């Protein structure tokens, strides 16, 4: 690795972490955290609803604050960092992407299910037209074979993606599986290769290192592990580990530790840790943002949230099918009542 910044990190707490705080970020919180991250020299900061642009809805969770206000606030606070947004075609729209670009966003991360890269073509092309750095984000990558993943990654590259990410949305991949996937993409793509982890099986850091060893040069982190499920690769930990490995990120270790402790920790509703619920997410291979939805359904129907998540995993439910959570909970509750009789 000979570039000025050996590994480029995108901070996702102000997007992925939206799930963990039920999409209740305030303008002041985004301002203070974005400023702190910028001062620590974090190169990219992702800001949006947990499900990306347009995600605020009854199905995905209503935001406390309009996401464009949060994006505008973050852009105003940073001096060197670039603000990024996530867009899932079918949830976010091209007009919303144009509005975000007009507010000063510099990167668009266009996300699809791992077997549905073809739906990203227009959005990636439009992001390029807007002058944005573009990222293809292949979610739930554990649900496709390495060969299928490569096929989909090639599509995103052909549409104009500057970087293609292997996204472990469920935190279900094991290190050797990450290595295999990243190495295959590295061999066959000219685009940058990135990796986004979740910590549901306590493997986020290990998987990130495996990805880097196999050739990934872009990684994601969430400060104080603020992300869906058990969170992502913990940013301040990643910076410390990479520093010990003499891998350059350009991020100030002391400052990023201070942001985690002083700015992010106070807004956490509960500490980000691996609970029985988040552990089941990784075990069953279920989208990490389903966790809070499953808890709500479990309370409503008086059943164990783990049973809901396991059943969702068996049905291979993916992001965008959040409405299935209540349906599955109702069905399991009915079965339970029939057995009791």
Structural tokens at position 195: 């990796």
What sign for the dihedral angle of Cα 220, 225, 231, 234? positive
Among this protein's residues, is 23 annotated catalytic?
Answer: no
Helix (H) / strand (E) element for 282: namely helix 276-284
- Is 49 annotated to bind ligand? no
- The closest alpha carbon to 13, from 224, 262, 211, 230, belongs to 224
Separation CA 34–CA 11 (nearest Å) = 10
Q: What element of type H or E holds 111?
A: strand 107-113
Which is catalytic among the residues 19, 49, 113, 123? 19
Conformation bin of residue 23: beta by default, left when phi > 0, alpha when psi is -120 to 50: left
Residue 57, annotated ligand binder? Answer: no
Q: In angstroms, rounded to a whole number, what is the distance separating the alpha carbons of residues 226 and 112?
A: 22
**Does the annotation place 287 within a ligand binding site?**
yes
* Beta-sheet pairing, 218-221 with 192-196: parallel
The conformation of residue 234, written as its DSSP 8-state character, comes to B
The single residue listed with the structure tokens 């709500």 is 296
Bridge partners of 234, per DSSP, are: 222
Tell how many helices (H) and how many strands (E) occur in the chain: 14, 8
**Residue set of the binding site for Mn(2+):** 16, 196, 198
- Residues that are catalytic: 19
**Residue set of the binding site:** 15-16, 169, 196, 198, 287
**Residue set of the binding site for substrate:** 15-16, 169, 196, 287
């Amino acid at each position: 690795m000979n570039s000025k910044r050996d590994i480029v990190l995108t901070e996702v707490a102000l997007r992925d972490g939206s799930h963990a705080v039920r999409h209740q970020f305030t303008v002041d919180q985004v301002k203070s955290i974005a400023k702190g991250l910028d001062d620590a020299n974090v190169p990219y900061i992702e800001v949006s609803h947990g499900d990306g642009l347009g995600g605020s809805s009854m199905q995905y969770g209503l935001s406390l604050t309009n996401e464009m206000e949060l994006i505008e606030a973050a852009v105003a606070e940073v001096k060197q960092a670039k603000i990024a947004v996530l867009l899932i075609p079918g949830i976010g729209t091209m007009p919303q992407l144009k509005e975000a670009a007009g507010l000063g966003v510099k990167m668009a991360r266009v996300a699809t299910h791992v077997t549905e890269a073809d739906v990203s073509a227009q959005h990636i092309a439009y992001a390029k037209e807007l002058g944005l750095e573009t990222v293809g984000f292949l979610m739930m990558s554990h649900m496709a074979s390495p060969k299928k993943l490569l096929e989909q990654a090639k599509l995103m590259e052909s549409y104009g993606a500057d970087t293609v990410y292997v996204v472990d949305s469920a935190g279900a991949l094991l290190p050797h599986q990450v290595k295999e996937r990243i190495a295959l993409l590295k061999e066959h793509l000219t685009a940058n290769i990135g990796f986004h982890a979740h910590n549901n099986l306590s493997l986020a850091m290990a998987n990130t290192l495996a990805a880097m060893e196999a050739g990934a040069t872009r990684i994601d982190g969430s400060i104080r592990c603020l992300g869906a499920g058990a969170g992502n690769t913990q940013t301040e930990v990643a910076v410390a580990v990479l520093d010990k490995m003499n891998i350059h990120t350009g991020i100030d270790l002391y400052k990023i530790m201070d942001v985690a402790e002083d700015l992010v920790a106070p807004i956490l509703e509960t500490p980000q840790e691996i609970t029985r619920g988040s552990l089941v997410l990784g075990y069953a291979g279920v989208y990490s943002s389903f966790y809070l939805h499953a808890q709500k359904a479990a309370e409503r129907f008086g059943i164990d949230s783990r049973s809901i998540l396991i059943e969702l995993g068996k049905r291979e439910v993916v992001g965008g099918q959040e409405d299935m959570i209540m349906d599955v909970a109702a069905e399991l509750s009915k079965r339970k009542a029939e057995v009791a009789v």
